Amino acid sequence: MQQLSRFLRISMLVLIVSLVSTLGAGAMDEGTTSNSNPVHSGAPGAAPWYMLNTDALAGGSGAPGLQELGETFTWREAGLSFPYPQDWELVLQQGYDAVLIAPQDEGSEEIAYITMQSTSVDPDQSLEQNMTELLPDLADDLTESSLGDLDALSLDISDENQHTRLITFSAADGYAGLMVLSSSASIWDEWEGTFETIVSEAEFTPLELDHEALNAQMLESFEADGTLTVGDPEAPIVVVEFLDFSCGHCANFSHQMDRLVQDFVPSGEARVTFNILVGVGGEFSRIAAQAKYCGVTLGYGWDMHGLIFAEYTTKGPQEAYTQDNLIEAVENADFDIDSDAFAACMEEADFSEVLTANQARASELEVTGTPTVFVGEDGGELTSPPRLLILLYQEINSLLE
């Protein structure tokens, strides 16, 4: 990895400079859309999601103990599967869903790799509109392309040192995937065929959740014991998430939880409980939580979850999480909730007891940030794996064996 660190600092310089020069001013302030991406923390100088953090790559850890990957790699967050180069190393690193690195000759500074990231985007805009905002000076260079049968946009950036192909696509409503396939210019010809196979043979699994069933399950759970749970109450595996609607990482991770729910809840293998906390945004978080629980009591708890985070992604918490804005959002929602009953609930209902219970549960489990996810067998001890779907899936599958 030392060779990787040294080379990436050199070989990615031109790409990073290109991106910084066109995008560096796009790192947004707290409370704007950028908070929903997986890398940007809101702190001064934090790297926006589209930048390759070479230090992070160099400090990444391999993935010992992962189940055999087989001939296909599945990018869980984006629902994309593609042929897996068997001798490439899988590196897991915060800020990336996954990184694949080609075998490197000892002493060589030539390298090839693939990075995968996913992020929340404006659900009311097209992929092209969202990417144009992220890449304003490169918009004219974005071209229509494909990942297997999936429509995508791509961009090639090349110089004498490095060749990079960036491919972006809509992974779900309000969620985009970004794949970067890159190598030293001197070995691009060696790996171009591998990259082209990955791109052409990629297979996308769309997100197709049964909202009616999930809404009903969440209402039934809340009426039974005050929890927000979807799935079979007798499911052998329990997944518990602690989240705050003012937490940008939670907004992004909500799309990943959608994938986990799709893959394990309808089959009866797992049930998922959502615990709403209100410590990040204070009154903004409390108003958003009020909207969530009002949606639950009116039979649209699952749909409300997505609506609240969509408002956050497009407007930021200060604008999104007002009573008037959330009532208006419900009035314009594409699900058939009683907007008058919702407005009355926002004015009159008191969910302080359940929020206090959520906080007590978080304290009991020593939750120190959001989102935090726990996994365990029904009635057993809960553990909190790193917040990467490849690791969460492994933990769940190992418990199912």
- 146-164 pLDDT tens trace: 999 999 999 998 889 899 9
Question: What SS3 state is found at 284?
Answer: helix
Position 95 confidence tier, pLDDT thresholds 50, 70, 90: confident
Asked if 89 and 69 touch (Cβ cutoff 8 Å), the reply is no
Most confident option among 32-36, 45-49, 361-365: 361-365
Whether this model's pTM surpasses 0.95: no
pLDDT over threshold 70, residue 55: no
For residue 204, the Cα-to-chain-centroid distance in whole angstroms is 16
pLDDT over threshold 60, residue 323: yes
| Residues paired with 238 in a beta bridge | 271, 376
Same domain, 234 and 362: yes
Q: What local confidence, expressed as pLDDT, does residue 135 receive?
A: 74
**CA quadruple 318, 320, 325, 326: dihedral sign:** negative
Asked if 288 and 294 touch (Cβ cutoff 8 Å), the reply is no
b/e for 163-190, b at 16 or more Cβ within 10 A?
bbbbbbbbbbebbbbbbbbbbbeeebee
Task: Give the phi and the psi of residue 87 in degrees, each rounded to 5.
Answer: -95, 10
Task: Give me the chain's average pLDDT, please.
Answer: 84
Q: What local confidence, expressed as pLDDT, does residue 328 receive?
A: 97
Same domain, 107 and 8: yes
Position 279 confidence tier, pLDDT thresholds 50, 70, 90: very high
Question: What SS3 state is found at 355?
Answer: helix
Structural domain tally of the chain?
2
pLDDT over threshold 70, residue 50: no
Q: Which of 30, 258, 251, 25 is nearest to 135 (CA)?
A: 25
Q: What local confidence, expressed as pLDDT, does residue 69 receive?
A: 52
Q: Determine how many CB atoms are found less than 10 A away from the CB of residue 377.
A: 12
Tokens for 61, please give them: 């850890």
Question: What SS3 state is found at 27?
Answer: coil
Instruction: State mean pLDDT over 342-367.
Output: 97
pLDDT over threshold 80, residue 7: no
Among 186, 204, 222, the domain-final residue is 204
Same domain, 38 and 86: yes
Same domain, 157 and 220: no
Q: Which of 361, 372, 213, 358 is nearest to 293 (CA)?
A: 358
Instruction: State mean pLDDT over 167-191.
Output: 94
Same domain, 132 and 267: no
Tokens for 198, please give them: 């990955």
Most confident option among 57-71, 335-349, 375-389: 335-349
Give me the sheet containing 270-277, strands edge to edge. 228-230, 270-277, 237-244, 372-377
Q: What local confidence, expressed as pLDDT, does residue 352 receive?
A: 97
Same domain, 117 and 163: yes
Measured over all CA atoms, what is the biggest interatomic distance in the chain, rounded to whole angstroms?
69
Question: 287: domain range?
Answer: 211-400
Kindly list the distances between the CA atom of residue 121 and the CA atoms of 162, 285, 309, in Å, as whole numbers in the listed order.
28, 21, 11
Q: What local confidence, expressed as pLDDT, does residue 68 receive?
A: 45
| Residues paired with 275 in a beta bridge | 242
Same domain, 184 and 222: no
**What single letter denotes the amino acid at residue 312?**
Y
Q: What local confidence, expressed as pLDDT, does residue 67 receive?
A: 42
pLDDT over threshold 80, residue 182: yes
Q: What local confidence, expressed as pLDDT, does residue 33 receive?
A: 31
Same domain, 240 and 179: no
Same domain, 121 and 168: yes
pLDDT over threshold 90, residue 22: no
Q: What local confidence, expressed as pLDDT, does residue 146 receive?
A: 96
Strand-pair category, 228-230 with 89-92: unpaired
E strand or H helix at 319: helix 317-320
Low-confidence winner among 37-46, 165-174, 308-317 (lowest mean pLDDT): 37-46
In sequence order, which residues have a C-beta less than 8 Å from that of residue 369 and are 6 or more positions away? Answer: none
Low-confidence winner among 17-21, 54-58, 222-226, 300-304 (lowest mean pLDDT): 17-21
Report which of residues 109 and 14 the model is more confident about. Answer: 109
Report which of residues 189 and 65 the model is more confident about. Answer: 189
Q: Which of 27, 142, 23, 148 is nearest to 78 (CA)?
A: 148
